[in-house]
């Protein structure tokens, strides 16, 4: 990695470079430090410098976090640099622990940014839609896990009793009446038995004399 960063005057004066956000500019400066420059001999012309490791430059999330760049800020910075023509993707990494990291190209499409000649990126960053896989899902799970563990258990309501619910009694058809009604029915049924015997008639077929 070079200790010095070389800028083109055209880059510093360009509207694309001056329109970069804070995080995009810092990330782009880190990419410039990762360049491996080498001269190319030209006949009857001054030497031209090219990027030897262009297309092989890596910049993982873990490195950005060590530089106190958040994951969201880093992701947005990469998208902005690709959109404005400073970067392109040579290889889209799969992430996770496989070590398959994304490799970037330092592009010069920024020279035509804002003009009809501007070309979009050949390989824009693909969003992770794997649902529960990759570094983003792992870090999201790590951030949610402390909150999940700290949730209190549901308190058992004091209104609930430990005894099983009483089953409602099933009454037969002949016992559907209330105790008072059953007592009343019994009373009416025995009226004939409890009633005092009626007064005998003054006249009787078996009697000859008058009582």
In the chain the beta strands, taken as DSSP E runs, fall at 37-40, 48-51, 57-58, 87-91, 103-106
On whether the CB atoms of residues 11 and 109 are closer than 8 A, the answer is no
User: Is residue 177, in this structure, part of any structural domain at all?
Assistant: no
User: Is residue 184, in this structure, part of any structural domain at all?
Assistant: no
User: Is residue 181, in this structure, part of any structural domain at all?
Assistant: no
User: Is residue 169, in this structure, part of any structural domain at all?
Assistant: no
For residue 90, report the phi and psi dihedrals to the nearest 5 degrees. Answer: -85, -35
Task: Tell me the mean pLDDT in the region 41-56.
Answer: 84
pLDDT, residue 47, reads 74
Which has more confidence, 179 or 92? Answer: 92
User: Is residue 146, in this structure, part of any structural domain at all?
Assistant: no
pLDDT, residue 180, reads 54
User: Is residue 133, in this structure, part of any structural domain at all?
Assistant: no
Pick the range with the lowest mean pLDDT from 62-71, 75-84, 102-111, 198-207. 198-207
User: Is residue 19, in this structure, part of any structural domain at all?
Assistant: yes
Q: Indicate the number of domains in the chain.
A: 1
pLDDT, residue 5, reads 84
Query: Which residue's entry shows tokens 């799970």?
Result: 141
- When pLDDT is cut at 50, 70 and 90, the band that residue 209 belongs to is very low
pLDDT, residue 138, reads 52
d(CA 48, CA 39) in angstroms, rounded, equals 5
User: Is residue 137, in this structure, part of any structural domain at all?
Assistant: no
On whether the CB atoms of residues 121 and 79 are closer than 8 A, the answer is no
**Residue-wise pLDDT tens digits, 128-155:** 554 444 455 555 555 555 544 445 555 5
Note the pTM of the prediction, 2 decimals. 0.59
Give me the domain span that covers residue 83: 9-127
């Amino acid at each position: 990695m070079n200790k010095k960063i070389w800028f083109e005057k055209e880059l510093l004066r360009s509207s694309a470079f001056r329109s970069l956000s804070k995080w995009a500019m810092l990330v782009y400066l880190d990419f410039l430090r990762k360049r491996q420059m080498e001269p190319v001999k030209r006949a009857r012309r001054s030497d031209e410098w090219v990027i030897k490791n262009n297309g092989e430059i890596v910049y993982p999330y873990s490195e950005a976090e060590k530089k106190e760049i958040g994951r969201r800020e880093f992701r947005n910075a990469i998208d902005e640099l690709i959109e404005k023509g400073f970067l392109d993707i040579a290889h889209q990494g799969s992430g996770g622990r496989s070590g398959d990291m994304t490799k970037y190209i330092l592009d010069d499409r920024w020279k035509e940014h804002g003009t009809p000649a501007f070309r979009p990126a050949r390989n824009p960053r693909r969003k992770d839609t794997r649902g529960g896989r990759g570094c983003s899902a792992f870090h999201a799970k790590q951030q949610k896990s402390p909150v999940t563990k700290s949730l209190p258990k549901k308190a058992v309501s004091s209104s609930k009793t430990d005894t099983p619910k009483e089953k409602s009694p099933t009454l037969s058809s002949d016992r559907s009446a209330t105790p008072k009604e059953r007592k009343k029915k019994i009373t009416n049924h025995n009226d004939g038995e409890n009633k005092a015997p009626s007064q005998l008639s003054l006249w009787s077929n078996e009697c000859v004399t008058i009582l």
